[in-house]
Amino acid sequence: MVFIAAEGRDITAKKAYESEIAHQREELAKLDVLKTQFFANVSHEFRAPLTARWKTPCQAGTVCCRPRPRPVSRFLIAMHSACSSSFNTMMDFSRIEAGRAQALYEPTALAAFTEELAGNFRSLCEKASLHLHVGCAPLQSDVYVDRDMWEKIVLNLLSNAFKFTLEGEIDLRLETVDGSARLTVRDTGVGIPNEELPHMFERFHRIESRQNA
Residue 158: partners with Cβ closer than 8 Å, 6 or more residues away: 117, 118, 120, 121, 170, 172, 185
Using one digit for the tens of pLDDT, what is the confidence trace for 77-125? 555 555 555 556 666 666 666 666 677 899 999 999 999 999 989 998 9
105-190 folds as: Heat Shock Protein 90 (3.30.565)
Q: Convert 149-183 to b/e letters by CB count within 10 Å (16 or more is b).
A: ebbbbbeebbeebbebbeeeebbbebebeeeebee
For residues 211 and 209, give the distance between their C-alpha atoms in angstroms, rounded to a whole number: 7
Give residue-wise pLDDT tens across range 133-161: 999 988 989 999 999 889 989 998 999 89
Q: What are the structural domain ranges in the chain?
A: 2-97, 105-190
